[in-house]
Structure formats: structure tokens, C-alpha cells
Amino acid sequence: MGAFYLFQGWLIEKIWPGPTFRPLFNAGWLLIIGTLIYVTQRTTGYLPKKLGFIKIELHDTGTADYRYVLLQMIIPAFILTSGTSLGPEATLVSSTVLYGVWILDKCRYLDAHWHDGWWATIKAMSLPHRYLLARGKARRSESWWSPRTISYLAIGIVSFYLTCKLGGERSVIVYLGHSNWQLNDLKWLLPLVIFGLIVGRCWLWLMVLLRNIVLDRITRDIGLIALGGIAIYLATLFAPAINFSGMINFHLLATSWQHQSIAFLLLQSLLKLALLTICLNTGWLGGEIFPVLFCATAQGIALSQLLPQIDPIFLIGIFAISMGTVILESPLIAGGVMSIMFLPPSLLSVSLGLTAGLFLIRRYLAPHMSWLKLLLP
């Protein structure tokens, strides 16, 4: 996974060396990537493989189709160089799950045939595409979070970190600034959370509306790919800051964008949400976590200009977690990423407390209260 992350970052830096206005090059490169997406859809299916499809396969068969997982480490890297408003996390998560399923299938076979002798074991280990054993039907209801699975996950995270560190990748932690929040700021906590949830619900509704408009009017894959390419092309020329995952440009939110006007911040974030929606539904696949949090943070900065009496980083963090929770449909992802990667340590207790609170409310209260379910999907 670390190698994929380094590879896609290297490709982006080589192909997009800076904010150069290159209408002919951009059009040519997008045409190449669009063709690659179309060919991939016709041969191997969507790459990266959607996590929802993997979950269905695991439920129905006890395993997943990981035949193209190596190709999945290459094709999406080139797709991300097109300037989609998406990130590498979709490929990272999908590939991690597929590799994990393959390792479990291989270990399950070795456990069942360990008595066949050392030569049979070496043969089974040397052929990655053979000698696999899926989980039995009677065991498919068991949790995948076994000690062995957790150990594999821990090893993978450490390996990913070390690969990026040794590969010279810059830190993914970008603090938005210093926070000197006071207890008096806590009286704004609930209003900010409610407002963030409402705003997130409004944008989510508009994103779904845009998706339905696109899919209702364009039904052929080539038409969808063309629409996505046109949207990306226009962004590369007139709003390059909304291209790519948002992780690459998050430093803007920690520096110059904190002094931009409210109109600028709202316009850029809304354009990015629109481009994100178009890309996700036209075959230009990728991750949505960083783009959504980028937009939520930009809108939080705009809101902080309207409420200068509140510590700005406190306000931005609370609003971004709340809005991101709704759009990503996961308080753990929105709160966890914001807490670890973008908010200063002085806000850790507040951000983690808010994340835990939203998780508990969504899990235990929202299913029984219709108005809460509207805010926390």
C-alpha cells in the first residue's frame, strides 16, 4: 500500500509540476485516462474495486475476487493523475481488504493441509493464485476481526508508514493552526454541531440530486466517462485548487485560505463537492474522505469569519467533523481523520469526545428517533 501511495504521488508531481495553464496537454492527458477507464471497465471491471461489492462477495461466498488486485495498484494511480477531485484512500482500503482476504484464504488452506508435508507447503506458498480455501458457509457469520486479522492490519499499517517515511513522502499531518480554546467556547459546541449536521445534510441531498440528474440523463458508460472528463478539464483550467484529493492542497487551508473571503471559500468548496459527485458517478473513481473534509474545513473557515468571538480552530474542527459525519456517513472516519491529521493536540479531547458522542447517538439513538435519523444517516 505504501508503494502505491508513493507511486501515485510521484506520478502526480511529474505530470502536474505546478499551476501551469496547459489546455492542450490537459485535454490530451484526460483523453488518455478516459480511454484507460473505458477499457478497464470492459475487461476487469471497476478499479479500484468498490468496497460494497467486496462486502457482498464476502457475505455470499466467504471470499472475494482478488485476481486483479495487482493491476489495481497501477491503473488507479494513473486515474488519480487526471485531476479528479478524489483521493487514493479508496484504492488503499479496497486493496488492503483484498490482500487480507487472500492471506486468510491462503493461511486457511495451509492450516487444513499442514500434514501434507513440507514440500506441499512450499508448493502451496509459492503459487499465490492457487491452493486457497474460502471461509465455510457455517462460519460466514463470524467476525472478521479475529486476533490474526488485527495483527495483519497492524503489520500493514506499520509497513505503510515505514514505506512512506523511507520513500521521502511528506507528512500527511497538516495542523490547521494553534487553538487557545477556553471553557467558554464549549457553550457553542451544541449549536455548532447541529448547524454542521444540517449543512452536511443539505449538501448530501444536493449531491444525491446531482447524481440522479447525471445518471437519469446519461446511461452509456462512454457518455458518463466523457462528462467526468469534461468536468475535470474545466476544473484544471479555472479552479485547479479543487483538483486531486484535497490532501495535497490541505496546506492551503492552514495558510492562505484562512484569509480568503467567505464567498471564495464557499464557491471553491461547493465546486469541489460537485466535481467529487460527478467523478464518483462517471467512472473516475477514488476516495472521498479527504475531499469531503477539505470542503467541510473550508466552510468552517468561512463560518469562523462570521463568529470571531469563538476560537477559530475550535469552531472549524467542530463544524468539519459534524458536516463530514453526515456526508461520509461515519463519525469515526470524519472525527478520527480530523483529530489525528488536521487538528492540533490541544483540541484532541474535544474532537475525540465529539466523535464518540456522534457515534453513540448514531448507533443507539438515531434508529429510534426519526428526526435524529434525518441528521445522522
Instruction: Express each pLDDT in 312-357 by its tens digit.
Output: 999 999 999 999 999 999 999 999 999 988 999 999 999 999 999 9
Same-domain status, 36 and 146 = yes
Same-domain status, 219 and 145 = no
97 pLDDT more than 80: yes
Q: Which of 49-58, 162-171, 188-197, 283-292 has the highest mean pLDDT?
A: 188-197
Reported confidence tier of residue 129, pLDDT bands at 50, 70, 90:
confident
What pLDDT is recorded for position 281?
93
Same-domain status, 11 and 37 = yes
Same-domain status, 291 and 204 = yes
What pLDDT is recorded for position 149?
55
Per-chain mean pLDDT for the chain: 86
What pLDDT is recorded for position 138?
47
What pLDDT is recorded for position 45?
87
Same-domain status, 145 and 285 = no
What pLDDT is recorded for position 158?
63
Q: Is residue 171 part of a domain?
A: no
CA distances from 110 to 103, 123, 124 (A): 10, 11, 8
Structural domains counted in the chain? 2
Q: Is residue 265 within 8 Å of 302, Cβ to Cβ?
A: yes
Same-domain status, 123 and 246 = no
Q: Is residue 30 part of a domain?
A: yes
Closest CA to 201 of 315, 307, 296, 290: 296
Same-domain status, 135 and 193 = no
Same-domain status, 192 and 156 = no
Question: pLDDT over 70 for what percent of the chain?
Answer: 89
Same-domain status, 189 and 144 = no
The string of pLDDT tens digits covering residues 135-161 is 765 455 555 455 655 565 566 556 655
Mean pLDDT of 284-294: 90
Which pTM does this prediction carry? 0.85
Residue type, 151: S
Same-domain status, 149 and 241 = no
Among residues 138, 166, 194, the one where a domain terminates is 166
Same-domain status, 232 and 114 = no
254 pLDDT more than 50: yes
Q: Which of 74-88, 307-321, 353-367 has the highest mean pLDDT?
A: 307-321
Q: Is residue 176 part of a domain?
A: no
What residue numbers bound the domain in which 82 lies? 2-166
Same-domain status, 156 and 193 = no
Among residues 166, 201, 220, the one where a domain terminates is 166
Mean pLDDT of 357-376: 82
